[in-house]
């Protein structure tokens, strides 16, 4: 989508500190590793998207009406952010105030750039870019900067908006921020810290790597830093993350659940094997999401990512995935947690987090990239599991965390109310009003999360089956109605009960516009808009143009 030059020039305000000027105590090796490029001998990656046929006028009219509804809600939320929380990290959607939850660098503004561009909101985009050009990455509202959030939201947002619009000022700000993040690798073993001490990072004396961090933190820096090297030609960013990938790749088969990694790892000790708790949900999610996406971004030129992808997928099918027993006998899958005992026996905890709902889309994407129709279908069953959860609750929204009853016989899984009765009484969190099949809604909130619609988007684009557009519209109507405030959209405290006015929380994070609404919009857009054959979307739904697709 090329909407031409900006209506007014952008004036770049350099940050108050030049992060590229730091003399590091622990510099990289003299010979830097560049992002690999596919050789002439290498086969091209297979196509990802379904080959869509021309739609009928009736279907197009319906789709466009739905797309317009998503765009209108996005514009309502954006205008309220602009009016009440401009240049703050997030809008408080009930009280009409703003808050800084990260570093005070206008997270919602940066995170939403590509959404504005994709939706054709040109005036809003130009105004936002002018504001981004003034962000000072040399100062922060917090003495420590979280490297994970800074990378996925801020750097990811800048790079995607640059790829889409070509606005040079966005790349300049991305380089400023990339150099800050690069400082997070100034450690004795060149492994990244979880939180960058701002003042220590500035003097270059060296940072202390935390003993334990969630595995998603170091594992989710690869896509953005690799892409920054791709668009700038400077290999240092890719060189920084390559040893992190090497560490996970080298030890993948040596964990207590071979193929998967424990929820907590140690970059200080370079230990990604010690631990007995495993999940694809919070604390680990985007670690796994980035394995196939890096395979796509590098056009298959680094085989480690395909191997990491296959390894975790096989382990996931054997352990955390389970078929839940439901009254409709639907053939669905959900992903739980696994705890490994001292005898190395895995034990399933059948808890589903909303965060885990990304895995259906990731499985389907990986199945396409690696030529596995079986894994595309596994992804579809996982996505249907989360759609089932949405449709089961009376508000049409899925709780943040819940439990279901695993089928003992996955091939012949027939509803047995007596089994459900026995299981639910074992759960102190059980409430009598929960739908049949659910034994808890441990966290009954819906906090505007995108993971379920993310998987629906991927399955729509990969299979072309209309069930996914129908599911997306059901979800959108439920979410739009249940979260609506006068100003924008707010988290719902309990989606398991219906009341004339659902109790809400004065909470709306940047991912609501950056991810949730963007995915809804793309489901109802022509498939050529952000084609999965051209773009790789990071964990914050920021589309990076694949280098092999650049003209």
Contact criterion met (CB below 8 Å) for 182 and 228? no
pLDDT at residue 5, as a whole number: 62
From 285, 289, 423, 494, the catalytic residue: 285
234 is catalytic: no
pLDDT at residue 110, as a whole number: 98
Q: Please report which residue ranges of 331-466 form alpha helices under DSSP H.
A: 359-369, 373-392, 417-424, 451-463
- φ, ψ (nearest 5 deg) of residue 493: -75, -30
Known binding-site residues for Ca(2+) equal 539
Count of other CB atoms within 10 angstroms of residue 432? 5
Shortest CA distance to 162 belongs to which of 150, 174, 177? 174
Q: How far apart are CA 126 and CA 9, in angstroms?
A: 9
- Which residues, at least 6 apart from 243, have a Cβ–Cβ distance to it below 8 Å? 190, 191
- How would you class 65 by CB atoms within 10 Å of its CB: exposed for 0-12, middle for 13-18, buried for 19 or more? exposed
CA 88 to chain centre: 22
pLDDT at residue 4, as a whole number: 58
- Which residues, at least 6 apart from 265, have a Cβ–Cβ distance to it below 8 Å? 212, 213, 214, 215, 218, 271, 272, 275
pLDDT at residue 10, as a whole number: 78
List the structure tokens of 374. 């079986």
Per DSSP, 28 falls in state P
- How would you class 86 by CB atoms within 10 Å of its CB: exposed for 0-12, middle for 13-18, buried for 19 or more? middle
CA 434 to chain centre: 29
pLDDT at residue 551, as a whole number: 60
Q: What domains appear along the chain, each with residue ranges and CATH number?
A: 24-38+74-549 (1.50.10.10)
From 114, 176, 353, 400, the catalytic residue: 400
176 is catalytic: no
CA-based max dimension of the chain:
68
pLDDT at residue 1, as a whole number: 42
SS3 279: strand
Find the helix or strand (DSSP H, E) in which 428 lies.
Answer: none
The model's pLDDT over 399-436, given as tens digits with 9 standing for 90+, comes to 999 999 999 888 889 999 999 999 999 999 999 999 99
pTM: 0.97
Known binding-site residues equal 539
CA 361 to chain centre: 11
From 126, 239, 375, 451, the catalytic residue: 451
From 126, 127, 149, 375, the catalytic residue: 149
Low-confidence ranges of the chain (pLDDT < 70): 1-9, 40-41, 551
149 is catalytic: yes
- For residue 1, give Cα distances in angstroms to 4, 120, 152, 161, 166: 9, 8, 23, 12, 11
Count the residues in the chain: 551
Contact criterion met (CB below 8 Å) for 102 and 89? yes
């Amino acid at each position: 989508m090329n909407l031409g030059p900006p209506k007014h020039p952008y004036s770049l305000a350099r940050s108050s500190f030049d992060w590229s000027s730091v003399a590091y105590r622990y510099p990289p090796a003299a010979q830097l590793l560049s992002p690999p490029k596919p050789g002439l001998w290498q086969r091209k990656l297979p196509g990802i998207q379904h080959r869509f046929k021309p739609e009928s006028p009736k279907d197009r009219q319906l789709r466009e009406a739905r797309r317009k509804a998503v765009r209108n809600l996005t514009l309502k939320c954006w205008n309220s952010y602009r009016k009440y929380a401009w240049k703050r990290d997030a809008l408080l959607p009930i009280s009409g105030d703003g808050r800084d939850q990260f570093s005070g660098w206008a997270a919602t503004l940066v995170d939403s750039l590509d959404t504005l561009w994709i939706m054709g909101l040109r005036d809003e985009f130009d105004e936002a870019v002018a504001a981004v050009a003034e962000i000072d990455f040399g100062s922060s509202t917090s003495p420590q900067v979280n490297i994970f959030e800074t990378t996925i939201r801020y750097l990811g947002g800048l790079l995607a908006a640059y790829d889409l619009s070509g606005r040079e000022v966005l790349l300049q700000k991305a380089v400023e921020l990339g150099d800050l993040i690069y400082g997070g690798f100034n450690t004795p073993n060149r492994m990244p810290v979880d939180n960058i001490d701002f003042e220590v990072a500035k003097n270059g004396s060296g940072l202390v790597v935390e003993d334990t961090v969630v595995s998603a933190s170091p594992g989710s820096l690869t896509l953005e830093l690799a892409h920054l090297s791709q668009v700038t030609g400077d290999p240092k960013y890719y060189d920084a993350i390559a040893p992190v990938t090497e560490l996970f790749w080298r030890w993948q088969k040596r964990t207590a659940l071979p193929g998967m990694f424990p929820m907590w790892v140690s970059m200080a000790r370079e230990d990604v094997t010690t631990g007995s708790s495993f999940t694809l949900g919070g604390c680990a999610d985007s670690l796994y999401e980035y394995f196939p996406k890096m395979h796509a971004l590098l056009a298959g030129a680094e085989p480690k990512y395909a191997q990491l992808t296959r390894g975790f997928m096989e382990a996931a099918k054997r352990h955390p995935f389970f078929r839940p027993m439901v009254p409709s006998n639907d053939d669905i899958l959900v992903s739980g947690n696994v705890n490994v005992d001292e005898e190395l026996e895995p034990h399933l905890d059948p808890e589903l987090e909303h965060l885990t709902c990304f895995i259906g889309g990731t499985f389907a994407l990986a199945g396409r990239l690696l030529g596995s129709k079986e894994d595309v279908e596994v992804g579809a069953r996982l996505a249907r599991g989360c759609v089932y959860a949405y449709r089961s609750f009376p508000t049409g929204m899925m709780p943040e965390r819940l439990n279901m009853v695993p089928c003992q016989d996955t091939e012949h899984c027939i509803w047995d109310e007596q089994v459900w009765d026995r299981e639910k009484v074992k759960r102190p969190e059980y409430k009598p009003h929960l739908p049949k099949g659910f034994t808890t809604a441990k966290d009954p909130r819906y906090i505007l999360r995108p993971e379920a619609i993310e998987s629906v988007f991927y399955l729509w684009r990969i299979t072309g089956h209309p069930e996914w557009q129908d599911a997306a519209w059901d979800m959108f109507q439920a979410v739009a109605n249940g979260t609506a405030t006068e100003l924008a959209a707010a988290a719902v405290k309990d989606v398991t009960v219906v009341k004339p006015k659902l109790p809400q929380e004065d909470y709306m994070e940047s991912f609501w516009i950056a991810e949730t609404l963007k995915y809804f919009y793309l489901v109802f857009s022509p498939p050529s808009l952000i084609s999965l054959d051209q773009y790789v979307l990071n964990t914050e739904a920021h589309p990076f143009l694949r280098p092999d697709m650049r003209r």
